[in-house]
Structure 1
């Protein structure tokens, strides 16, 4: 039997729980440590599942970092702690899987990728939507050329419920926090460098407005190959988690629709009722989260190269910076002025 990859999970909120579940289900991984502020909760979880794992708090990482059975860390902690945790992990010889963003600053993100290269360890930024089977099939179809050239890419991404204001205040703004996923997906689908970006937004929620943020943005990107990409991204849709994308090509159209929670549609003379759509990212993207973790395990075992590179990560961050400049000025922005990585 091949060596199981020893994993430490840092942060045990919703995303930490998703990744722990997938790691527990994988025959190639063994959870060695759970790092959480609430140690009693971590201990109860470990005991309830009979895991051969230890736990510690985020202020006492040394026992985990010195453990030779730990091959990699999965970081799901608050963004403010990413830089320190990634640096310590890499210097301890551990591979790193990190929820986006690596850091909020491109300079420090570049430094961490340089450190990963120095220690010959992978640093993976988890843009999970790339691992969704439907989106992967869409991209494969676009790049096959069977429908001719891509002309227009339209994407809609809206949360069901607005995040708490305590989170909004520290999120770095909607482009950094949410739209970055859509920007990454747009570049991945189009396969060309973005040339010009224009962003307009508004805050319908007064609390979010007081935070200096938006709860709705519309983004238009023109790419060097001529493709136009339009994104609408919002923090509240009330009726479900909107995740759809449409690709208009020379000879046809591709569309990924919102996923419904049931196959049952009801019809009558006075009624037409469709099922609800998924409530949030956890229910919409279980396959994506599973697939990205399996991809990371493939990387650890030398079976694959990182599917999301330093260039991908930095380019998405540059597009966020350019987008924020456009949102602030109300004018289109040339992306190359920010993308000098």
Structure 2
């Protein structure tokens, strides 16, 4: 991309599934972006979304060869991410890619190394960093409003498990669901020195039969003694429960749930209020919009990407450490995982 910045963006979307459809609307709603093409391994899915959005469909090769395309957004299946990131950057395109970079840590690391060598612009889609409430919490912490951080508690409960077909291809609860929380912890506190994980299958026996957990807790241990806990479940019947608490030397800051309504009914019998919104798209739609604008603004300004491929590798590294910890029933040092990948 020559001078490292553009004045407006022509964007090609690769992947026309559920998350691709969301991104198609996000791009089209952004005044600084133009959705120029849609590609998908399933031509019928690409055509359907293309007709809905009024956008032409092409194959990936045509997208990468088109010099008028400034950026590609990768929302295809996870097993295609690293390859498409590399092909996109090799073609001189800026790349926005949904998480994760890959399910295999070694492959993700190799991708990051290649991307960093090209100098091309790549952002990984950890949308929760762009939630305005989470950003307000981070700003308060960085500004020293509670002093030195001591404990971080992240709660991330889904209302119901995804289909088993998704579970079996997702890479597991740590690589799929909790990877968002690993990234949030890294965003707030940086990389820990060790990980302790516990998990079980309480929601659906079929998930356990597939070799996965649906209920998990992870402790992140930091070199200076700080501790972070992450709690995940695939079943919170009352809604999409997403909270962060950060305790510091002089106080606590927290972010609560986004609820279906702000109405609270109080009476002598007690109080009633609404549950959290039930679906992640409702909870994080604002974050998805802000995430895309942040990507586009980084390209317009030539500034750094807010979430890098290296950030994606680091979140995957914590997921890998958690999986080892669960399997071996012990605390795992991050250096041990690095040694396995490079040894």
Fold equivalence (TM over 0.5)? yes
Instruction: Quote how far apart the aligned CAs of 1:90 are.
Output: 2.0
**In structure 1, what is the Cα distance between the partners aligned to 2:11 and 2:236?**
36
**In structure 2, what is the Cα distance between the partners aligned to 1:103 and 1:319?**
14
Are 1:15 and 2:15 an aligned pair? no
Deviations 1:288-326 (A, max 9, x none): 111111111122223420112343222222211111111
**In structure 2, what is the Cα distance between the partners aligned to 1:212 and 1:107?**
21
Q: Which residue of 2 aligns with 1:273?
A: 272
Count of matched residue positions in the alignment of Structure 1 and Structure 2: 334
Q: Assess if the C-alpha contact under 8 Å between 2:150 and 2:226 holds in 1.
A: yes
Q: Which residue of 1 aligns with 2:329?
A: 330
The 5 A counterparts of 1:11-50 are: 11-40=15-44, 42-49=46-53
**In structure 1, what is the Cα distance between the partners aligned to 2:196 and 2:228?**
11
Q: Assess if the C-alpha contact under 8 Å between 1:190 and 1:227 holds in 2.
A: no
**In structure 2, what is the Cα distance between the partners aligned to 1:35 and 1:179?**
29
Deviations 1:160-210 (A, max 9, x none): 11111111111111001111111111122124x312211000001100010
Deviations 1:258-300 (A, max 9, x none): 1111111223344632112111221111221111111111222
**In structure 1, what is the Cα distance between the partners aligned to 2:139 and 2:17?**
33
- The 1:28–1:326 alpha-carbon spacing in structure 2 relative to 1, beyond 3 Å, is same
- The 1:329–1:111 alpha-carbon spacing in structure 2 relative to 1, beyond 3 Å, is closer
TM-score, normalization by structure 1: 0.92
Instruction: Quote how far apart the aligned CAs of 1:112 are.
Output: 2.2
SS of equivalent residue, structure 1 residue 89: helix
Q: Assess if the C-alpha contact under 8 Å between 1:159 and 1:240 holds in 2.
A: yes
The 5 A counterparts of 1:1-341 are: 3-40=7-44, 42-49=46-53, 51=54, 53-56=55-58, 60-191=59-190, 193-204=191-202, 205-270=204-269, 272-339=271-338
Q: Assess if the C-alpha contact under 8 Å between 1:153 and 1:229 holds in 2.
A: yes
The structure showing larger relative contact order (alpha-carbon pairs under 8 Å, at least 6 residues apart) is 2
Q: Which residue of 1 aligns with 2:3?
A: none
Q: Assess if the C-alpha contact under 8 Å between 1:197 and 1:323 holds in 2.
A: yes
Q: Assess if the C-alpha contact under 8 Å between 1:32 and 1:69 holds in 2.
A: no
Q: Assess if the C-alpha contact under 8 Å between 1:113 and 1:123 holds in 2.
A: no
**In structure 2, what is the Cα distance between the partners aligned to 1:103 and 1:41?**
23
Unpaired segments of 5 or more residues in structure 2?
1-5
SS of equivalent residue, structure 1 residue 246: strand
Structure 1 residue runs of 4 or more that deviate by more than 6 Å after TM superposition: none
Q: Assess if the C-alpha contact under 8 Å between 2:112 and 2:310 holds in 1.
A: no
RMSD of equivalent CA atoms: 1.9
Instruction: Quote how far apart the aligned CAs of 1:245 are.
Output: 0.7
SS of equivalent residue, structure 1 residue 301: helix
**In structure 2, what is the Cα distance between the partners aligned to 1:229 and 1:128?**
20
TM-score, normalization by structure 2: 0.91
Q: Assess if the C-alpha contact under 8 Å between 1:8 and 1:70 holds in 2.
A: yes
**In structure 2, what is the Cα distance between the partners aligned to 1:320 and 1:40?**
34
**In structure 2, what is the Cα distance between the partners aligned to 1:260 and 1:226?**
34
**In structure 1, what is the Cα distance between the partners aligned to 2:283 and 2:303?**
26
